[in-house]
Amino acid sequence: MIDILSQHTRDIVKSTAPVLAEHGTTITTVFYRNLFEAHPELLNVFNHANQAQGRQQAALANAVYAAAVHIDNLENILPAVVQIAHKHVSLGIKPEHYPIVGEFLLKAIKEVLGDAATDEILSAWEAAYGVIANAFIGVEDSMYKEAREQEHGWNFFKPFTVVRKVQESGSITSFYLKPTDGSNVPDYKPGQYISVRVLIPGEQYTMIRQYSLSQAPKPDEFRISVKREETNDPNGVVSVYLHNQVNEGDTVEVSAPAGEFLLDTSIITPVAFISGGVGITPMMSMLETVANVTPDRPVVFLHSARNESLAAFGTDIEKHAASLSNVKTRTFYSGGPDGVITGEILKSYVDVTGDAYVCGPVPFMEAMIGELRKLGMTEAQIHYEFFGPALQLSNA
């Protein structure tokens, strides 16, 4: 991947890193504005809520900056490429999208930097973008192939019927989904997610959201568990629609499972699941899988909710825990006397020789990951996922 770029090109790209650190978000904001003006059809793919909140712009700025910093050794960004590629495949990004993005990214660099963006700088970035785009296309091609060729697999989106809708808490509802054509679903790994695509009445464009699969793999169905966001929150458009207007018997479009926040089911060393809010959803798939596959594995399950009415899956947690021979579970209410999960609590519950899986709001995860590191757990032992674009955790 590196040898395609000349040393001169790499030097130029590296020299622009400080400029990207300063102007990156401005460049990506201009990029998205111009891109959608010229290609409004791409609004069928991009998350409007992330655009409205500036999260997508910040995530792309981070990615461009990382490419500049690591241009001498692009293998360093391959883990990020793989993570983003999973998201791209779940959204249905295609090779023909990359030249469009490259064209408007270069135009945005020129528009924001003006004369400072010389022809030489733009040519270097065009070459660098081509190399990085080809890396994404190659990784995504193999992911599409794997998704398509696995048993019961497919690419892009497929109609699913809502066969059951179950309220799990004051804010979370589960949707049980089966292929409308009567086929089975592919196997998936605990922790993966699917994309759900809907066309909401009155909206011009389709909307896509990712939701963790919230139960252990079943042959004929998926389960997602969706938190209802506030109606005036940009994130809430799809969740409110699902809660209020999508009922049993209705159809939504679904992508094949994706993601690399995965439970290692091949080991039986101690494992701790630590979640906040709707971050509990992938943990339910993981907990049920351990109960089914390795019931003697030592398990800790810690969950934080604002109050009892917002704590989901209590009955499921008890049921899965009953199948485990060595398990500790506890729910904390951040608005009550139990308070939040502290470093002391983690110290008393978590076996630091094992693995920890963390999911929830970014501040919650930063706190949990920081405390686990203080207890001596290594990067390889701490696994985490947060919802939304690949924003960087401040302590990651």
389 in a known ligand binding site: yes
Answer yes or no: is 173 a known binding residue.
no
Token duo for residue 70:
């690591």
| Residue 357 marked in a binding site | no
pTM of the predicted model as reported, rounded to 2 decimal places: 0.88
In contact, 383 and 358? CB cutoff 8 Å: yes
> Which residue, chain included where needed, has tokens 């989106």?
157
CA–CA dist 245, 228 (Å, integer): 12
Q: How many CB atoms lie within 10 A of CB 167?
A: 12
| DSSP 8-state class, residue 336 | S
Q: In this prediction, what percent of the chain has a pLDDT beyond 70?
A: 92
The count of C-alpha atoms lying within 13 angstroms of the C-alpha of 100, restricted to the half-sphere facing its C-beta, is 15
* Number of H-type helices and E-type strands within the chain: 12, 11
- pLDDT by residue (tens digit) across 107-164? 999 999 898 889 998 998 888 888 888 888 999 999 999 999 999 999 999 999 999 9
Token pair for 128: 């660098």
Residue 45 reports pLDDT greater than 80? yes
Q: Is 337 annotated to bind ligand?
A: no
- Cβ atoms of 70 and 20 closer than 8 Å: no
Mean pLDDT of the chain: 88
Which residue, among 162, 152, 161, 223, has the nearest Cα to 192 in the 3D structure?
A: 223
> CA-to-CA distance for 87 and 360, rounded, in angstroms?
18
The token pair that represents 191 in the structure block:
């922790």
Convert the pLDDT of each residue in 242-278 to its tens digit. Answer: 999 999 999 999 999 999 899 999 999 999 999 998 9
User: Cβ–Cβ contacts within 10 Å for residue 378, how many?
Assistant: 9
Q: Which residues are catalytic?
A: 98, 140
Q: Sorting pLDDT into bands at 50, 70 and 90, what band is 212?
A: very high
Q: Any known ligand binding at 24?
A: no
Helix pair angle (17-38, 55-69), 10° resolution: 130
Return the amino acid letter for 362: V
Helix (H, G, I), strand (E, B) or coil at 364: helix
